[in-house]
Amino acid sequence: MPHAREYLEKRYNSPRGQHFLESTNGSERPKLLFGSSGGSHPLARFTDQRETYGPLVVEQLVRNLVQPEVVVDLGAGSGRDLEIVRRLHPRAKLVAVEIDTAYARALEGKADEICVANIERDSLPLADGEADLIIANQVLEHTKEIFWVFHEVSRSLKLGGHFLFGVPNICSLHNRFLLLFGRQPTQHKVCSAHVRPFSKGDTLAFLNACFPGGYKLEEFRGAQFYPFPARLSRILADALPTFAFTIFFLIRKVAEYHGEFAAYPARAQLETNFWTGPVPTSSQYWPLPQPGNHALNSSVISPEQRL
C-alpha cells in the first residue's frame, strides 16, 4: 500500500487531503488505519470510482427540472453537483452546506452562499418552503440522525420541490454475492464512515411510514456497477438499477409538511436516542407540532458560520 501522503494526493485530491499533505510537509508517513478510506476493495481496481457519484445520472435528473430558483447541496464536497446545476440552470441561487471547513473554503466561487453546519443537529439556513431542489449525494449513509435530516429537508422544500439523493445500495449485485458467502457488504462495514444502509424498497417504506403521501417518487436510477469498467457499468446500472452500487432517488414533495419526520421516533417508540429538535421524545406528547414551530432547540446557523 502506498504511504498516506501519496494515497491522498493521487486518490482523493480533496481539500481535506491537501490540508493533510500540507500539515505533514512530507516529513511523516503515517499508516492508513483500517476503515479510513473507501474504494480499497480488490474489485475497485476494475472500476472508475467517479461513477459512484453518478455525474451523468445527476445531470439527467437535474436537466429535466423546470427552472429551480433555490438549489441547496448538503455535503457539497468539491462542488461537483453544484457545477452541474450551474451549467444547466445558471439563474438558480446555489447554497452549499458543509460541515468541513476545508471543503467549505474550497467551495468559494462555486456557490452563491456557503454555510458551515452539521446537518444532523443544525437547522438548514432556509426559511420554510424556500428551496426548489435539495441535493444530498453520498451523504445520507454517513448520518445517524436520518429523521432530523428529512425533517429539515421537508421543512425547507417548497410544495412541489424536489429532493435528489444518492446513496450506496446494500442490495447491489456484488453485495448479494458477498452476503451469500457470509461476507460483509463493501459499503457498510462496522469500522467505516458509513453508518446507515439503503435499498430502494426500504427507503420508500421509510418515506411512506414517516410522511404518508408526502412524497412522490419521480425517478429512480442506478450508477456504478461492480466490478465493471465505466462504459459497461453505465449500461448495466441503467438496465438494472436495483443491482447497481449506487442508487438515486428524485422525490417530489406533494403535501404540506407539519413535522412528521421529527415526530416519528416518538410515535413509533424507537428505542434509540434520535435527535428530533423540539419534538418530545415520548409518544405521550403526540399529536404533531404545529406548522412554524420548527427547530426551537436546534443550533441555528450563526452569521459567523457563513463564509
**Residue matched to cell numbers 437547522:** 123
How far apart are alpha carbons 94 and 199 in whole angstroms?
29
Structural domain contains residue 184: yes
Report the pLDDT averaged over residues 157-166. 98
Instruction: Give pLDDT, residue 277.
Output: 87
Q: Give the cell for residue 196.
A: 446507515
Q: Tens digits of per-residue pLDDT, 40-65? A: 556 666 777 888 899 999 999 999 99
Instruction: Give pLDDT, residue 50.
Output: 87
Q: Work out the pLDDT band at 236, boundaries 50, 70, 90.
A: very high
Instruction: Give pLDDT, residue 227.
Output: 86
222 close to 246: Cβ distance less than 8 angstroms: yes
Specify burial of residue 197 (Cβ count, 10 A radius: 0-12, 13-18, 19+).
middle
Structural domain contains residue 226: yes
Structural domain contains residue 124: yes
Structural domain contains residue 293: no
Instruction: Give pLDDT, residue 21.
Output: 45
Instruction: Give pLDDT, residue 173.
Output: 95
Instruction: Give pLDDT, residue 295.
Output: 38
115 close to 95: Cβ distance less than 8 angstroms: yes
Structural domain contains residue 280: no
Q: Kindly state the percentage of the chain with pLDDT values over 90.
A: 66
Structural domain contains residue 292: no
Residue 113 structural domain? 49-260
Give the chain's domain count: 1
Q: Kindly state the percentage of the chain with pLDDT values over 70.
A: 76
Task: Please give the DSSP secondary-structure letter assigned to residue 95.
Answer: E
- Give, in order, the Cα–Cα distances in Å from 194 to each of 7, 84, 141, 149, 185: 20, 26, 5, 16, 11
Higher pLDDT, 187 or 201: 201
Instruction: Give pLDDT, residue 83.
Output: 97
250 close to 201: Cβ distance less than 8 angstroms: no
Structural domain contains residue 250: yes
Structural domain contains residue 201: yes
**CATH code, 177:** 3.40.50.150
Asked if the model's pLDDT at residue 87 lies above 50, the reply is: yes
Taking residue 150's Cβ as centre, other Cβ atoms within 10 Å add up to 26
Order the strands of the 131-137 sheet from edge to edge.
113-116, 93-98, 70-74, 131-137, 157-168, 246-253, 215-223
Helix (H) or strand (E) holding 253: strand 246-253
Q: Tens digits of per-residue pLDDT, 275-296? A: 998 765 443 334 544 444 443 3
Q: What average pLDDT does the chain have?
A: 83
Q: Tens digits of per-residue pLDDT, 194-215? A: 999 999 999 999 999 999 999 9
Instruction: Give pLDDT, residue 41.
Output: 59
